[in-house]
Structure 1
Amino acid sequence: MNVWIGLLCLIWGFNWVFMKLANGVFPPVLFAGYRFALGALVLVAVCLAKKVPLPRLRDLKWYMLCGILQTMYFNLAIQLSLKDLSAGLTSVLTYSMPLWLTLMAHFWLPGERLRLRKLLGIVIGTAGLFVAMDAHWSGSTPALLLAVSSGLSWALANLLVKRKLGHCDMLQFTTWQMITGAAGLLLYSALFEQGESHWGVMPAVYVAFSGIVGSALAFVMWSYILSKVEASKASISLLMVPIIGVVCGVLFLHETLGVVTLAGIGLVLAGIWLVNGKSRQGNRPVAQGAASPAQRQA
């Protein structure tokens, strides 16, 4: 099972390279729309093959809201951030999601009150955000705020899943929220984006990998892992994704990695580990909450 977890982290970590490269040949939000439209088509085919029923109307409104938050806005913010930020830094700021989720859960999820370990993790992780952001602050303030807001949007969608959709089939949920998000991304691009798509072999590879492997296939793998491994272990394993994103950015995109940025990244990851780590008191509810949105991202 560790092999499957490692492969999933490699897919999602390496996908940041394709997302960054795609910004050079596609309008950024349009690429995200292509990616999730393709992923949604693949998941629709899986649903038809598995005879997954259509969602109930009372659930559909929550599916659509989560699609806006964690597919449309989440990826819109990421793609726009990648225009001015490195893939490594953007991935780390995005994966700050558990910090925000823990704060939200303290107020809105029964039984998930802040403990000392969680509070320490939030303080350390937030400090890491400021350190990493300070190292790249000049001329990139909107991009930095967008990257952080993607994590906030992800956390809010996860909170809704915990409160409203715990009874739902996750394949059904992910398919319909991805359809909603893809439609929103394509609509936003048509209304507000300028520029042209430059299709070719490599641009097609970017869309295919991000849509089929980084979205649809990764979700199937994640579902299999969750069925075999406790949610807390699986969730903690995802902390490798931004690390792999940073390494891939350095190796394949020739991005620089300064000492200050590295220190900030380390603090963010340490904070997330403290928040999501399983203590003797038991942090299982938060770990389970953090696992759900990962089903939609790379």
Structure 2
Amino acid sequence: MNGLIGLLCLIWGFNWVFMKLANGVFPPVLFAGYRFALGALVLLAVCYFRKVPLPRWKDLKWYIVCGILQTMYFNLAIQISLEDLSAGLTSVLTYSMPLWLTLMAHFWLPGEKLRLRKLAGIMIGIIGLFIAMDAHWGGSTGALLLAVSSGLSWALSNLLIKRKLAGSDMLQFTTWQMVAGAAGLLLYSVIFEHGKSHWGVMPAVYVVFSGVVGSALAFVMWSYILSKVEASKASISLLLVPVVGVVCGCLFLKESLNSVVAVGIVLVLLGIWLVNGGGKPKAEASAER
């Protein structure tokens, strides 16, 4: 499981580079629509060859809701935020998701109560968010809040997965939520966006990598991890994603990292670690492995 988690963090962290670059050649939401439409097509093909049945209506309605939250709104908010924010800062604000998921889990998931350590982690994480947001990194307040809302949307989707879809086929779920989300993204783009796509070799690479690796493969991996691990604990696997995103932004996009933003990022990561990491009895940790 640790190897799978590490691979997922590398994929999603590096994918921020392509997502940022894609905004220079595609309307932002249209790119997300292309990405998830391709990912959905790949997963539909996999379901066909593996003879995965069509979802039942009682599951399909939740697949659609999660598709709107986890794929449509989540990525719409990210791509629009990337118009004004750096890839590094956007990834940190988006991956504040474990903080919000832990708060939600306290009220709606049995056995995941908010302890003093978790409360301290949430407070430190939120302080870090405000520090990172106050530094602005050249972005508007609206873009900052939109990036944070993407994390909230993803947390709500993960909560629904644990409450309503615990026994579902994760390949089936990932496929159909992605179909619903891709349809919503493309519909939004048709109605509200008016820019042009500039196709070429590299733009095609952005779509293919983000669609096949960063969407189809990565979301199957995440759904599998979430189905096997406690919700508030599963999110610790995402700690490395914003770190990888910030490092990749500096290496490949020449993004700057000032000291104030660095402090905010460290506090966010520390808060998430306090919420989800450490303090687990050895026997419990051994049982999970």
Fold conserved between structures, TM > 0.5: yes
Range that drifts further, 105-114 or 25-34: 105-114
> Which residue of structure 2 aligns with residue 76 of structure 1?
76
The runs of 5 or more residues in structure 1 that have no matched partner are 289-298
Query: Which digits, 9 at most, give the CA deviation of each residue in 1:110-153, with x for residues without a partner?
Result: 22221001101100000000000000176510100000000000
Q: Is the 8 A contact 1:232 1:278 kept in 2?
A: no
Cα deviation, residue 158, structure 1: 1.0
The SS at the match of 1:25 is coil
> Which residue of structure 1 aligns with residue 183 of structure 2?
183
Question: Superposed, which structure 2 residues align to 1:33-182 within 5 Å?
Answer: 33-136=33-136, 140-182=140-182
The SS at the match of 1:32 is helix
> Which residue of structure 1 aligns with residue 14 of structure 2?
14
Whole-angstrom distance in 2 between the partners of 1:190 and 1:223 = 29
Query: Which digits, 9 at most, give the CA deviation of each residue in 1:234-270, with x for residues without a partner?
Result: 6423211110000000010000000000000000011
Cα deviation, residue 219, structure 1: 3.5
Cα deviation, residue 218, structure 1: 2.2
* Identical amino acids, percent of aligned pairs: 81
Whole-angstrom distance in 1 between the partners of 2:64 and 2:74 = 14
Q: Is the 8 A contact 2:67 2:178 kept in 1?
A: yes
> Which residue of structure 2 aligns with residue 294 of structure 1?
none
What CA RMSD, in Å, does the superposition of the two structures yield over aligned residues? 2.3
2:210 maps to 1:210: yes
Whole-angstrom distance in 2 between the partners of 1:151 and 1:126 = 13
Q: Is the 8 A contact 2:112 2:232 kept in 1?
A: no
Whole-angstrom distance in 2 between the partners of 1:163 and 1:229 = 13
Whole-angstrom distance in 2 between the partners of 1:215 and 1:195 = 24
> Which residue of structure 2 aligns with residue 244 of structure 1?
244
Cα 1:274–1:210 change in 2 (3 A) is same
Range that drifts further, 260-269 or 225-234: 225-234
Whole-angstrom distance in 2 between the partners of 1:240 and 1:71 = 21
Q: Is the 8 A contact 1:25 1:198 kept in 2?
A: yes
Cα 1:24–1:158 change in 2 (3 A) is same
> Which residue of structure 1 aligns with residue 275 of structure 2?
275
Q: Is the 8 A contact 1:232 1:277 kept in 2?
A: no
Q: Which letter does structure 2 place at the counterpart of 1:92?
A: V
> Normalized against structure 2, the TM-score is what?
0.92
> Normalized against structure 1, the TM-score is what?
0.89
Q: Which letter does structure 2 place at the counterpart of 1:119?
A: L
Cα deviation, residue 223, structure 1: 6.3
Q: Is the 8 A contact 2:88 2:242 kept in 1?
A: yes
Whole-angstrom distance in 2 between the partners of 1:226 and 1:160 = 11
Q: Which letter does structure 2 place at the counterpart of 1:213?
A: V
Whole-angstrom distance in 1 between the partners of 2:112 and 2:226 = 21
The SS at the match of 2:24 is coil
The runs of 5 or more residues in structure 2 that have no matched partner are none
> Which residue of structure 2 aligns with residue 293 of structure 1?
none
Q: Which letter does structure 2 place at the counterpart of 1:87?
A: A
> Which residue of structure 2 aligns with residue 23 of structure 1?
23
Whole-angstrom distance in 2 between the partners of 1:121 and 1:206 = 35
* Number of equivalenced pairs: 284
Cα 1:93–1:227 change in 2 (3 A) is closer
Whole-angstrom distance in 1 between the partners of 2:29 and 2:191 = 11
The SS at the match of 1:68 is helix
Whole-angstrom distance in 2 between the partners of 1:225 and 1:139 = 33
Query: Which digits, 9 at most, give the CA deviation of each residue in 1:27-53, with x for residues without a partner?
Result: 000000000000000011111111111
Q: Is the 8 A contact 1:5 1:234 kept in 2?
A: no
Q: Which letter does structure 2 place at the counterpart of 1:82?
A: L
> Which residue of structure 2 aligns with residue 295 of structure 1?
none
Q: Which letter does structure 1 place at the counterpart of 2:195?
A: G
